[in-house]
Amino acid sequence: MEASAVGEIGSSSREQDRPPNPLGGAYRQCFGNAHFGSPCANSPHVRHAALRASRVERFVGSAYDDSEVDGELNLEVNMEVESIGELEIQEGKEDSESDFIPVVRSGGWADIGIRRTMEDVYVCFDDFLHDCKHLGSPSAFYGVFDGHGGKHAANFACDNLPRLILEDADFPREIEKVISAAFLRTDNAFAEACSLDATLASGTTALTAVIVGRSLVVANAGDCRAVLCRRGKAIEVSRDHKPGSLREMKRIEASGGYVSDGYLNGQLNVARALGDWHMEGLKVPATGDGPNLGPLSGEPEMIRMNLTEEDEFLIIGCDGIWDVFISQNAVDFARRQLQQHNDPLTCCKELVSEALKRKSGDNLAVVVVCFQANPPPNLSAPKPRVHRSISAEGFREVQSFLDSLRT
């Protein structure tokens, strides 16, 4: 894995390792080789490419107690609802007209783990719109891509999804439509790349988080996960797309597929992914840039919400993290680390190190995005009112004692 910690500048992959890019050309005008190729010391866009096996220094976190919470989708219910597709989340307690604007800081880290090859990739752009569209509002783009059957699909998606989003004239005005279209166009473009070179055959799950002003849009296709920390509480803002889930199973069967022992068509243990065009019966090309017609969908499930002063940070990670962390446990762990050093990059290294200690059996990639300049505050629980009572017998004894003092 050719690696550089986010916050430093590292070189990206060698060109011979890159799949042919049918998108090419025009998209380089915003990013250029400085951002996705050779190092650039002054670039605001920092990318971490996973192409060469590499181990990180082992970070030792402080001792802590695991929190036991339900692993099911945990959606806060407070105020205003915004819904995209079938996933819903509630706004925080702040008024929807709040002037809160997040102060965005991020870090990311990856590790090959016990695997022989590295197929996870992440990307962090803290200043996504400034250079290309010169918009004044805060903006950022983050993504994690968990490859399978090879590294090429993950690298291709990591390179092209942000370009496709920026290139779209409707971004950020119609942000949900643009992001969904970018997923599908990336999927179809990778199919074309594979038709030029069959050795690129592979697939990847993909999760992206886009911030424009105080709006957060999370798009997910696969089993990566995004978890928001709201005053210490973990709120899952994505849903794991497993073939065995009732919602995905219905969609798969309606598309002519089936689920066997938790695997899509007996072949794949995710229900949504980019790539995998080489796997028989999983994807059927559609006309234009629409979604494929097979049971393996590349269409993302999305959630849009407004960030508030209660929102502290976001964790997005590949399933190697979530295999050994439940969402609340990861938030508790990350929150303790951020309270100590307030550094999202170091926090990512510590999350990866802890996952390795917990015997994660997969590649690992994680991004932490902080929304505040200050570290998360200590949360003190309000002291409960103490209600004291006295029995009738005790009252009589006290009254008798007091009467004796008057005699």
Residues 93-109: pLDDT tens digits? 544 456 888 999 999 99
Q: Which of the given ranges, 27-41, 332-346, 368-382, has the highest pLDDT on average? A: 332-346
Domains and CATH numbers, the chain: 15-380 (3.60.40.10)
List Cβ neighbours of 199 (8 Å cut-off, separation of 6 or more).
none
More confident residue, 53 or 84: 84
| Tokens read off for 402 | 């007091």
Q: Which of the given ranges, 81-85, 100-104, 109-113, has the highest pLDDT on average? A: 109-113
| Model pLDDT, residue 24 | 52
pLDDT in tens, 173-209: 999 999 999 999 999 999 999 999 999 999 999 999 9
| Tokens read off for 58 | 């082992």
- How far apart (Å, rounded) are the C-alpha atoms in residues 155 and 219? 18
Whether 3 has a pLDDT exceeding 70, the answer reads no
Which residue, 212, 202, 208, 149, is CA-closest to 182? 208
Q: How confident is the model at residue 34 (pLDDT cuts 50, 70, 90)?
A: very low
In a 3-state reduction of DSSP, which class is residue 163?
helix
| Model pLDDT, residue 49 | 33
| Model pLDDT, residue 135 | 55
Helix 327-341 to helix 344-357 angle, to the nearest 10 degrees?
A: 130
pTM above 0.95, yes or no: no
Question: Residue 363: left (phi > 0), alpha (psi -120 to 50), or beta?
Answer: beta
